[in-house]
Amino acid sequence: MKHQDKTSLHDEDVLAGLLYRMQDTESFEQFRKQGERCGWCFHPIRLAGMSTRVDLSSGEITSSYSSETEPTGVLLKACGTRRATLCPSCASVYAADARILIRSGLSGGKGIPNVVADHPMVFATFTAPSFGKVHRANNDSGRCQQIRRHEHCTHGQALWCNKAHAKDDRIVGEPLCMNCYDYSRAVLWNSLCSELWRRTTIYAKRELAQLLGISKTAFSKQYRLSFAKVAEYQRRGVVHFHAVIRIDSATKNLQTLPGAVSAPMLISAITSAVAKVTVPYPGDFSGFVRWGPQLDVRGISNEQEYISEIASRDTYDAPEPTSGMRTRAIANYIAKYATKSTDDSGALDRSLHSLSDLDQRGITGHLRRMVETAWDLGGRPELASRRLREWAHTLGFRGHCITKSRHYSVTFGYLRAERQAWQIKMSSTPEVNHQNGQTIGNWQWVGTGWWSSGDLWLAELGAQQKSESRLLARESQCIDLMSLGKAGTSGSNTDSSSQDHHYGQ
Ligand SMILES: [Zn+2]
Ligand SMILES: [Zn+2]
Ligand SMILES: [Zn+2]
């Protein structure tokens, strides 16, 4: 279910819904509380039932709650999606969690020792290779695809483009010739890039062992590679990864890191691993899945809270090294991608039942060819294990948007549980204040979404107010910091959107 354009007060249904909801102050107040409790989710799940809390030591019922006590007769539960196209409210909660998850791995916190900040760490972007010439924005020459001799492909299409495309030009990422473009390998690359990543981490460990002059086994006994990464779709429909990679000691508490390793060593190991690692294409496809030439690896210096550019295999529209990027900016940068969909419109948020679904969803051009290719390949018995029809809507990619190794930092589950515990603590409802007990519940799904477009309008308003108060809180935090004279040492908060790069070709 995609969240459509905002509801409007000019809509008669919205007005009627609002009037109905506001006719009685007391029930409106209860409705407002329900909305706040589900974080003003745009598509809440409606549940009916009851739960009882039992004191485990005495067997006594300490409290009970029934949805019948609500004016609407149901309990509202947030949909909890990460995709902003589906529910901006829940996506903002997810992005906030993603930010914390990344930051605690960069500088400690949430149970992660602060000592991780001193471990060798890098921020790296891994890209896919070329599957055919595509229209590009903002390359070095300012032109899309310039060549000396004007040539045409066998399909009669020009193999050059002299235009200067703006970044938001819809043509960016589209192939110069769709018939020349290697759609099959592009889809299979998406399908296998998670395996390529897994092998890269193994290769990087091998390279590090070699740099340290020790065996692989000795390296694994002393060190561990921890990481968190986010997958982002480039405009050409292939995934690339942004990752924080950290060297830890192989101990449980991450302490006592042997001093021999360093960030430049990690950069060198990753660069070598990326150049060597491959995964064979499956089925009848020849060749190997490998990384593209555009790799960007930067050391992260927590001491100054800045990233300094140490190595880059290619020069492209990477952020200026002088611009600096704080650990907070890295977290924001990764969180920004955490709520994105396969396509900007969210038309590919759900899986497909058949290719005709694409007509209803308005998917055309290059993106459609990617989906169609995944669907076609998914029908081949030799590629059955890739489950490409199931993942046609994600253009073959079947990994999670954000993944992390076990020791990098806390999990989303941990952060959700922590938030829930906080809500319970702050709640005045008696049944949730007892800690030594067990809750037994019996709940049934009765529906999804708000009752009327008027209610949805109120949810949108509630979500807007929530985000405005968050902004105000952040601003007052900045003012506090400035008054303490810390603004100069922490630097300006780099706008992560300025670091956005979509690589052509
Ligand atoms: Zn939601
Ligand atoms: Zn072009
Ligand atoms: Zn062609």
3-state secondary structure 401-415: CEEECCCCCCCHHHH
Which pLDDT does position 31 carry in this prediction? 87
Give the distance (Å) from ligand 3 centre to CA of residue 152.
8
Q: What does the alpha-carbon distance between residue 448 and residue 406 come to, in Å, rounded to a whole number?
A: 34
Strand 223-233 to 279-280 pairing? unpaired
Of the listed ligands, the closest to the CA of 157 is 3
pLDDT of residue 3: 54
- The amino acid sitting at 60 is E
* H/E stretch holding 231: strand 223-233
CA-based nearest residue to 349, from 81, 97, 128:
81
Distance 249 CA to ligand 3 centre (A): 52
Ligand nearest 179 Cα, by number?
Answer: 3
**Rounded distance from Cα 15 to ligand 3 centre (Å):** 54
Q: How many Å lie between the centroid of ligand 3 and the Cα of residue 468?
A: 50
Report how far ligand 1's centroid is from the alpha carbon of 93 (Å): 9
Going from the Cα of 500 to the center of ligand 2, the distance in angstroms, rounded, reads 20
Tell me, in angstroms, the distance from the centre of ligand 1 to residue 463's CA.
Answer: 10
Span from the CA of 284 to the centroid of ligand 3 (angstroms)? 22
Q: What angle do CA 110, 113, 115 make, to 5 degrees?
A: 140
The Cβ-side half-sphere exposure at 385, using a 13 Å CA radius, reads: 5
Q: Which helix (H) or strand (E) holds 70?
A: none
Rounded to 5°, the CA angle 281-284-289 comes to 10
Q: For residue 311, how far is its CA from the centre of ligand 2 (angstroms)? A: 30
Q: How far apart are CA 380 and CA 281, in angstroms?
A: 14
Q: How far is the CA of 144 from the centre of ligand 2 (A)?
A: 4
pLDDT at 352: 92
Ligand 3 centroid vs 358 CA: distance in angstroms?
24
Ligand (nearest to CA of 151) = 3
The torsion defined by the Cα of 390, 395, 397 and 400, in degrees rounded to 10, comes to -80
pLDDT at 227: 96
Q: How far is the CA of 364 from the centre of ligand 3 (A)?
A: 19
Q: Tell me the ligand closest to 174's alpha carbon.
A: 2
For 363-413, the pLDDT digits (tens) are: 889 999 999 999 999 999 999 999 999 999 999 999 888 999 999 998 888
Task: Give the span between the Cα atoms of 213 and 207, in whole angstroms.
Answer: 10
**CA 90 – ligand 1 centroid, Å:** 4
Cα 159 to ligand 3 centroid, rounded to whole Å: 8
Tell me the two tokens of residue 169.
């030009």
Q: What is the pTM of this model?
A: 0.80
Ranges under pLDDT 70 in the chain: 1-6, 139-141, 301-326, 424-436, 474-505
For 161-183, the pLDDT digits (tens) are: 988 898 888 899 999 999 999 99
Q: Name the nearest CA neighbour of 3 among 339, 369, 334.
A: 339
Ligand positioned closest to the Cα atom of 146: 2
Q: At what angle do helices 453-483 and 88-107 cross, to 10 degrees?
A: 30
pLDDT at 140: 67
pLDDT at 146: 80
| Sign of the C-alpha dihedral computed for residues 300, 303, 309 and 310 taken in this order | negative
Calpha distance 309→99 (Å, rounded): 22
Q: Is the Cβ–Cβ distance between 244 and 125 less than 8 Å?
A: no
- Report the C-alpha gap between 151 and 252 in whole angstroms: 60
Which candidate, 121, 117, 95, places its Cα nearest to that of 104? 117
203 and 224 Cβ atoms separated by less than 8 Å: no
Helical spans, DSSP H, in 410-494: 412-426, 453-483, 487-490
Tokens of 457: 């309008």
- Measured in Å, residue 134 CA sits from the centre of ligand 2 at 7
Q: Which residues contact 176 (CB under 8 A, 6 or more apart)?
A: 132, 133, 134, 135, 145, 153, 157, 158, 159, 160, 161
Ligand 3 mean position, distance from CA 185 (Å)? 16
Residues 6 or more apart whose Cβ sits within 8 Å of residue 152: 158, 159
Cα gap 505→501, rounded to integer Å = 13
Q: Tokens at residue 380, please? A: 């081949």
Contact 228, 402 (CB under 8 A): yes
Q: What is the pLDDT of residue 433?
A: 43
Distance 169 CA to ligand 2 centre (A): 10
Neighbours of ion ligand 3 (CB under 5 A): 153, 155, 157, 177, 179-180
Q: Quote the distance between the C-alpha of residue 354 and its chain's center.
A: 27
